[in-house]
Amino acid sequence: MQFFLQLVGVGLVLVSLVDIFLTVLHPRAENNLLSMLVARSTWCLFRVAAQGMPKQRDRILSYGGSITIVTLIGVWVLLLFIGFALVIWPGLGTAIQTSQGTTPTDFGTALYYTGFSLTTLGTGDLVPQTDGHRFLMVLQSLLGFSIFTLALSYVLAVYGALTSRNTFALKLHYRSAGSADSAELLRRLATGNDLNMLNQNLADIAQSLINILELNNSYPLLLYFRYRQPYYALARVIYLVMDTATLIKSTLNQDYYSSIIHSSNVAEVWHGGLHLLSELNHQILRKEKLSPQELNESFWQEHYYRALEQLQSEGIKTINDPKTGADIYISLRHRWATDLARLTAYTGYQPNQIYK
């Protein structure tokens, strides 16, 4: 029985250490044992709480990302505590003894011994008597110090990545005049029919989007940082860049803007956005109830013609055959609309907070 408990303890320690390694030192969205399970479970609890208090929904969900980080670190530490406690428990009273009096042999004492071993370099009032347990205490102290450092580094990296994402979101928010309107964004990007300026602006957007894609691959917990302000929403960021790329392909004059439509910058925005949506939807395991408006072709068509009017009012050269352009727009939007709708629902936003 004692050997079985020690074997379970070693397993818990290894699970914690492997997950820390994969999450912090080899950070990729697909590499984890526990972190995404903890993140999804925590977010599920927040969504349930938000549904029970709809007036406080945005406020409740805004704490999801921070609590997820704390919970994940707590799970790592808890597994290490319980795992090492199970390993040293059979040694209480023999291989580990108190400096004075009778040595308690209960599991609480094992947790206590493990606690000061992981968090300090001292031995407290319980002292290892064998070389094996002395080595184990040193190992626990080294792991405790290392994990504290790694956890702190991870938190700083996640919040640094979050700042980059929020900065990009704000840039798009102000470039679209705070409207979340991709047609308004394109109108400002293409004003004056200046090809060089449009290409430069698209290059800036493409670089920021690819950066967000890589940050999400490295720190998938970013998905669970959801702010009260919709302009920080990851779904809105993706909508603005994807719909802008879709409008470029379907509304701009195919001859005058040919070098832009087929440019590497538009390709980066288009394929980078699709890739980001694909990665995010791999993290969403549950089915979401989608709003009919988000997948309504009539609504898309109205949006397209309204965008065409906005561009024409600015004197921007548009497609010669609007009907063909509308068909192209609807066909292209089908490639990303469903994934974006799932992301919108999963992160707790209403469609009118994302689409304008």
H or E segment to which residue 13 belongs = helix 2-20
Q: Is the pTM of this model over 0.85?
A: yes
Q: How far is CA 242 from CA 21, 222, 227, 237, 332, in A?
A: 34, 20, 21, 9, 10
- What is the sign, positive or negative, of the torsion defined by CA atoms of 205, 208, 211, 212? negative
Residue pLDDT, tens place only, 320-334: 999 999 999 999 999
CB 197 within 8 A of CB 210: no
Tell me how far apart the 2 most distant CA atoms of the chain are, in Å: 93
**132 Cβ neighbours under 8 A, 6+ residues apart:** 95
pLDDT over threshold 70, residue 293:
no
pLDDT score recorded for residue 262:
95
**259 Cβ neighbours under 8 A, 6+ residues apart:** 195, 199
CB 62 within 8 A of CB 227: yes
Q: Where are the domains of the chain?
A: 2-152, 176-354
Q: How far is CA 254 from CA 120, 166, 192, 250, 332, in A?
A: 68, 34, 17, 8, 16
Phi-psi region of 355 (alpha: psi -120 to 50; beta: other; left: phi over 0): beta
Residue pLDDT, tens place only, 2-46: 788 899 999 999 999 999 999 999 888 777 889 999 999 999 999
Q: Report how far Cα 66 is from the mean position of its chain's Cα atoms.
A: 12
Residue pLDDT, tens place only, 223-260: 999 999 999 999 999 999 999 999 999 999 999 999 99
Across the range 119-124, mean pLDDT stands at 68
Measuring CA to CA, which residue among 298, 295, 309, 300 is closest to residue 341? 295
**228 Cβ neighbours under 8 A, 6+ residues apart:** 58, 59, 62
